[in-house]
A and B are shown apart, each in its own frame.
Chain A
Amino acid sequence: MRAIEIVGIAETKFGKAEGSFRELAVQAAQAALEDAGAHPAQVEALFLGTFSPGTFIKQEHVAPLIASELGLNNVPSSRLENACASGSTAFLSGVMAIAAGAYDAVLIVGAEKMTSTPIGETTSILAEAADWENESSVGLTFPGAYALMARAYMHKYGKDRAFLDAVAIKNHHNAMGNPYAQFHREITREDIAKSVMIADPLNLYDCSPVSDGAAAVLLVASDVADRFDKPGIRLLGFGQASDSLALYKRENLTSLPAAQHAAERAYKMAGVGVDDIDFAEVHDCFTIAEVMATEDLGFFGKGEGSDAVLAGATGRDGKIPVNPSGGLKAKGHPVGATGVSQIVESSFQLRGEAGERQIEGAEIGLTHNVGGSGATCVVTILGKAE
């Protein structure tokens, strides 16, 4: 495949933002262009990942909206939707377009504006990413779907919820070093024990928050990378896989088969093994999801991810740092922005520009972005500039 690099990166601070959907998307996109030393005229296409602007802000047809606001004029622009994996799906669409030789430089933007909607409605909108006819209409919420997996995991491996607490505490701690994170607040087991139950066994601190935010990357063919200012972060491999929308139809409820398939493809393409990965940004929409991810990606055996987080193996100084950014849990989860933000955060790490959250000597990073309860998964493997 044609070699591809990331030469421009940016994200907005996640959380409840003053800016509108278009303002956030434009802010991230312009900052990514500026980071690369690129002019809008060098962008040949726009791929926008967003989940549900039609329901969140009553605006569809958002790709040309953002393209025109950016002054990209007549370039092709397309919006990609794969629930919470919309951002990484947009990224892979850009990858495919460059690999096919259609373009040399494309802009990838992920964005979501979630906080202007009443919280009950937000729960309902997010539930639309599940199988409506068989799950949401029966009363399943997104926290509920992951609660079904958490219960199955705890039963199968004989675990109490201490490992879930450990994920939340670690990710809140990591977010302290991330200026773009929604939360800058350490939490304790006592805070968690006092918090409200959302979907038993998951309480408020097991859940990623409702967030506004945007992230953007300028993706280019390696053969034109010298037109831009920054050393390119190399795309070493990627994989995407699908599964049933309905969780209950799957035989195995303690891992996400789509994540395993996506990871297998990404490792194979990159020609690297699990032990070569220096850090990972994974989709911890709920605490249980991070633990399953560390097993699906092969960092730990089945049922062992829970002990690993308790032992500190996924901490910033651990065997495999997981979510040094704070993850969805504490960095925030503006749905469509998340997949792109994981790539931005990984690129900061691989450039050595991650500040307080820097993993020393990081050369290869992995991102894992999940849509729904595992019906879509995208894994990318990125490497520092040669």
Chain B
Amino acid sequence: MVEAPTYQGVNGTIVTYSVIYVPTPEFAGEAPYVLAVLQLSDGERLLARLPFAEDAPLEIGATVAYDHTDQHGPVFRLT
């Protein structure tokens, strides 16, 4: 089995994002959540989740850092 890539210590910026309110059944109970296209510091582009918070300063250009990986993949957070 191929090892999932690790993003430990990786930072990036938000290229664009959406808050998903109506997810697929696999994500039922997790919505709303933020999905963002990230430009990572190592040059990679990635689609990843961020936790949703009503008052978070979510915007294009905001900086993010890797937080953890769950069953659906890597999760980043605003920095």
Q: Which A residues contact B (CB, under 8 angstroms)?
A: 120-121, 123-124, 127, 134-141, 143-144, 147-149, 151-152, 155, 196-202, 246-249, 253
Contacts and interface: CB of A to CB of B under 8 A. Distances in A.
A151 B60 contact: yes
A199 B21 contact: yes
Contact of A200 (B19, B48, B60): B19
Q: 10 smallest A-B Cβ distances: which pairs?
A: A147-B18, A200-B19, A152-B16, A124-B24, A248-B37, A248-B47, A120-B25, A199-B18, A155-B60, A148-B16
B1 interface: no
B22 interface: yes
Nearest to A254: B16
B60 to A, nearest CB: 5
26 contacts: A123-B23, A123-B25, A124-B26, A134-B47, A139-B33, A139-B49, A140-B47, A141-B23, A144-B20, A147-B18, A148-B37, A149-B16, A155-B16, A155-B60, A197-B21, A198-B21, A199-B18, A200-B21, A202-B18, A248-B37, A248-B45, A248-B46, A248-B47, A249-B45, A253-B15, A253-B37
Residue from the set B37, B45, B46, B72 with the largest chain A CB neighbour count within 10 Å: B37
B46 A139 contact: no
Contacts of B18: 144, 147-148, 151, 199-202
A137 B47 CA distance: 10
Nearest to A143: B22
B17 A148 contact: yes
Contacts, number: 89
Contacts of A152: 15-16, 60
Given A152-B15, A199-B19, 11 more contacts: A120-B25, A137-B26, A138-B72, A140-B35, A141-B22, A141-B24, A144-B20, A144-B35, A147-B20, A149-B16, A248-B45
A199 B52 CA distance: 13
A148 B47 CA distance: 10
B28 interface: yes
A22 B28 CA distance: 33
B4 to A, nearest CB: 11
Name, among B20, B22, B30, B47, the residue most crowded by chain A CB atoms within 10 Å (CB to CB).
B47
A197 B73 CA distance: 25
A136 B49 CA distance: 12
Nearest to A204: B22
A151 B16 contact: yes
A247 B45 CA distance: 11
A136 B25 CA distance: 11
Contacts of A149: 16
Contacts of A139: 20, 23-24, 26-27, 30, 33, 35, 49, 72
